[in-house]
Amino acid sequence: IVPKQQIHAVGYCLGGTLLAIAAAAMARDADERLRSLTLLAAQTDFTEAGELMLFIDEAQVSFLEDMMAEQGYLDARQMAGAFQLLRSSDLIWSTMVQTYLMGERRSMIDLMAWNADATRLPYRMHSEYLRKLFLDNDLAESRYEVESRPVSLRDIRVPVFAVSTISDHVAPWRSVYKIQMLIDADITFVLSNGGHNAGIVSPPGHANRHHQIATHREDENYVDPDAWQASAIRREGSWWTCWRDWLMRQSSSDLVDPPPMGAPQAGYATLCAAPGTYVLEP
């Protein structure tokens, strides 16, 4: 869509893990289209992936693979159930008490509506994610293959902006922090208050927001997460403004208009109106 221009790529959660894989494959193949990486609550090393590991072992993965083999995907409700169990007091029991026992229904807010917009996970993608990343940690140990050849995160040389959140039960911040041991590039790491969703969707002006931020240069010695947390600058407000400033420093001073929606001149026609036809499916 934007030929002959480098881009700033962004990935959130599993999308961030997939982006890291893609960036490593591009670096391996001398593809220089990326200018920077921003990874939001995204894990690249899964040895300390937190409470979700309670649900992931060989027997469970085999069970899920058998179930997905029959229907071709993991249903969104099945996935949501696992994440609810990670914070059962907040996402199951408090809701049951409020709605079932007290007869009170929470009013819908935009973040809750977005979080409820779940989707199915394709069989092959989910199987490889659980087995090759969670169980075997192939990506961090340079065994994960793209097009039948392994990729290494150490090949990535573009600047990285990595964001984590202090109360994240899906991607614990110390697990996200491990990227600083895996990529030989300048890494700006952010630890924001909030959880996996609210800590990321945290625009300026949101009350009671703060974050810590520090940049680890490629040629500097490793700093462990506890030492980082003790020394990193604490700032009040949203981390979004720090990200904006960081992106400006990585960019040229030339202001360009964004490409038209769908970029028809590049052969990418608009398919349909947002949010897409999938919302009409049963």
pLDDT at residue 93, rounded to an integer: 59
pLDDT at residue 82, rounded to an integer: 56
Burial zone of 20 (CB within 10 Å; 0-12 exposed, 13-18 middle, 19+ buried): buried
Mean pLDDT, the chain, as a whole number? 87
* Residues of the chain above pLDDT 70, percent: 91
Which residue numbers are catalytic? Answer: 13
For 113-140, write each residue's pLDDT tens digit: 777 777 788 889 889 988 999 899 999 9
77-98 average pLDDT score: 59
pLDDT at residue 89, rounded to an integer: 54
For 185-217, write each residue's pLDDT tens digit: 999 999 999 998 889 998 999 888 999 999 999
Q: What is the pTM of this model?
A: 0.85
Higher pLDDT, 245 or 259: 245
* Residues of the chain above pLDDT 90, percent: 54
For 27-86, write each residue's pLDDT tens digit: 999 999 999 999 999 999 999 987 777 777 888 888 888 888 888 888 877 666 555 544
Burial zone of 4 (CB within 10 Å; 0-12 exposed, 13-18 middle, 19+ buried): exposed
pLDDT at residue 98, rounded to an integer: 72
